[in-house]
Structure 1
């Protein structure tokens, strides 16, 4: 028996045999032809890879389909194609050129401060591996599970999970993936237990054996004894029995034991096909919107999607975060975006779409990466330009409640000035604020464990004290499952609105309802 400890990514317990997703070894038995033939082979491989991705995307939904479209966009990206073409022209084989480009473009994403963008480096590796497999003539067969199993991998590629019969997946265990990797996000959305960051070599060691995956405690027990299996089976049975009926807590009002009211809001992405239900929720937010840039959506398309979102919200507030182009500019498929934006964070078609759609619901908009009043004033000037242009074109616009995301210490320190300059709400991204405040930009896991650091609490407490007399609303956002345990500390200092990923909402509600505040 061996017990390995990682990071919980999706709660639950699973017991079963272990199957491994092995991405194999590339580069065997390659023969390099002349550059013209190598380039022709590469071009054909890209056509085949894009065809496979399109077929997969037809079966996928929402964010899953978006990821596949990201991969297609990368294969069409001029800078990516030129990088490979130049290396082939210098005498390299097509497969080797793709592997080199994979390292270059994946490393660019890995060096981005934003953890979500950093995790998209796996998408680069995934699509490059697909092209390399075609060039190497390796079969790309889907893994057929003959029995329900716990899947292990060094890291999961998105296409690994798209091709599986998900009814056969008991749980996911990964050596490297993080809690915001696609595997973790998918596991939470499907209710599949998942543990990540188990460490190098664990997946290969566990394959072919029986294991207990306890994603509540973050452990993988390989070759457990009979007593451990019986205990785990009992927990699973109780969980299933409990799950037969909706959790009664979900229908209860959001009140602590002392009668203090609090509000909960589920997060989502503007491209999600299934908007979180609003029954019992104080609203929807934060709504991420980076895909409007990556797909270069028109004003009409964005206006229609925003109206759909507001309609589905059924009257509750929708807190939407404008696209964060500073992060997305580092993505290889958005290489031409920086010139087009002329260094502006704001994407004018998005602002125009929001101004047009606002009449259809309670829309509240926040701007990310605002470090000081000068940034805020630039944003407001751009909003005014967009409004004026719409009016000149004969479109009606509606007032917006505007604010900013507090994700940097400078924004927290300058909160009073931002409010004096017109910020009507502040959305504190608590994990980002902790990362930047405590110098943990490259270590998000450590940042989650430091959310109750006195320095971070003091910044939030000061914002709340300054906002109250001015009637400015404050939201605490960026709350993941891993961050739930820190939230009573923020309830204690006065936070009353919490925006959390859907999987964290019920655990967060239960924990806050237990507080004597």
Structure 2
């Protein structure tokens, strides 16, 4: 009996037989060929065959092209077909998993319209005179790697969506169906990772559970698996795949995140044992002395609101092509949380973008319009000075006046917050606090900039020992200034989910914790144990 541990995204325990999906990496190679169609046929003939699975290998060859307009037209035609396919998936899953969860496919449609993504593909075709397949594959790699390098877990999880959308375009361009292999009944499907499209393509009635070596608990794949009621463990590691065999019995424990190979009779008997709930949640979250605390789920707007969450914090909103589409996106978030609050972080727009102010104003207008359907707060990132904060407040006032003048319904009571993510904001928090309704401290970003290190090193035992004090002082300074000026104060990032620090944060005055779904129950339990009067 061997035990592996990952992150659970659905609380259920099942036993099934291992089915391994071997998925080769998408590759794009720079090489000239005389006849691309011949090479693609060669690749088709070189399918990867494993004893447990058959999977198509896409291998894209660069070819210099003379007719750039033809390649651009091919991309546009593929984009139209991809949008049609995604619309069909949305309609198919609408009844199966509900509108909020089916929105995953609408978000993929929005990604097809992303200006930066499309601009990269078009720019590569024009400047390098490459074929459409290569431009899509290279753009996919660049954008996915950029997201994977970010210090925000939500944004890292979006890399899978970029690859999924890109693979869909590539399948259309290469005329290769995205059909996913059949899996036998009662399968514990195991893979390196799964995209939302691959998860949706699996035959649900044959799946006992899903297990992936990589991935995020807040990825769209995890959300989709949760909505399909599939016990799922994510991020279990490469060693797991190296030690499993097709047909081997496995118990997937969605409560603990454990996967047990060849479980004994004693373990199997626990499958029917009732699971203990954390604490009663009917009256919100309070400390032992009765102080109310909000615990928000830092997750995706498509995900069902987790059981222990008082609200949601959406830290990675897409930059859409016009105000109406942006409004519809934000409206869906506002309507998803009618009885609790949502926090919407504005996207960061490059200062080099000539249309930066126009796009920023559209974002603000869209949130104020969406706020008439719920209670979202608007969070502005990367604040470094008082003049910058004043400019933001003026832009918000202008947006409200414009909408009123146009007769457009909007909210007059949108809460405005500043994200404290760099030391400059923490140091001048006494000046910023009177201008804000709330602060959200990004503990990962503060630590990275304060300690001048990579995020993965910030909280490692060897490095963080003795270094955390500087980060905690900046957090404490921000919290005290917020409380002093009547602003609410929240925290997100790795430290927000560290229950050994929950008491310290509460005593600083922090009353909002934005954590990933897998940390909600533990953080809430710890909050209820803290007595601020002692």
Q: Is the TM-score greater than 0.5?
A: yes
Which of 344, 347, 355 is the matching residue for 1:324?
347
Q: How does 1:79-478 map to 2 (within 5 A)?
A: 79-83=119-123, 85-86=125-126, 89-90=129-130, 95-136=133-174, 138-166=176-204, 168-187=206-225, 192-200=230-238, 202-203=240-241, 205-208=243-246, 209-214=248-253, 218-222=257-261, 224-227=262-265, 230-231=266-267, 233-238=268-273, 241-242=274-275, 249-252=280-283, 254-257=285-288, 259-267=289-297, 272=302, 284-288=311-315, 290-291=317-318, 293-298=319-324, 302=327, 306=331, 309=334, 313-314=338-339, 318-326=341-349, 338-342=353-357, 347-355=360-368, 364-393=377-406, 398-420=412-434, 422-439=435-452, 441-443=454-456, 453-477=468-492
TM-score by length of 2: 0.74
Q: Which moved more, 1:115-124 or 1:32-41?
A: 32-41
The structural deviation recorded for 1:80 is: 4.0
The C-alpha deviation readout for 1:165-209, integer Å capped at 9, x for no partner, is 445444332223234433344445666544444443643652512
Over 3 Å counting, the alpha-carbon distance change for 1:353 and 1:139 in structure 2 is closer
Matched residue SS, 1:176? coil
The C-alpha deviation readout for 1:70-103, integer Å capped at 9, x for no partner, is 453369954244256348945x6x5445433433
RMSD of Structure 2 on Structure 1 (CA): 4.5
TM-score by length of 1: 0.76
In structure 1, the gaps of 5 or more residues are 331-336
Residue correspondences, number: 488
Q: Which residue of 2 aligns with 1:58?
A: 91
Matched residue SS, 2:323? coil
How many Å separate the matches in 2 of 1:480 and 1:185?
A: 24
Matched residue SS, 1:29? helix
Matched residue SS, 2:353? helix
Over 3 Å counting, the alpha-carbon distance change for 1:288 and 1:102 in structure 2 is closer
Over 3 Å counting, the alpha-carbon distance change for 1:496 and 1:129 in structure 2 is closer
Matched residue SS, 1:107? helix
How many Å separate the matches in 1 of 2:124 and 2:529?
A: 57
In structure 2, the gaps of 5 or more residues are 27-39, 45-60, 94-98
Q: How does 1:13-28 map to 2 (within 5 A)?
A: 13-24=13-24
Q: Which moved more, 1:410-419 or 1:500-509?
A: 500-509
How many Å separate the matches in 1 of 2:330 and 2:296?
A: 18
Q: Which residue of 2 aligns with 1:511?
A: 526
Matched residue SS, 1:124? helix
The structural deviation recorded for 1:153 is: 1.5
Q: Which residue of 1 aligns with 2:48?
A: none
Q: Which residue of 2 aligns with 1:334?
A: none
Q: Which moved more, 1:367-376 or 1:443-452?
A: 443-452
Over 3 Å counting, the alpha-carbon distance change for 1:247 and 1:2 in structure 2 is closer
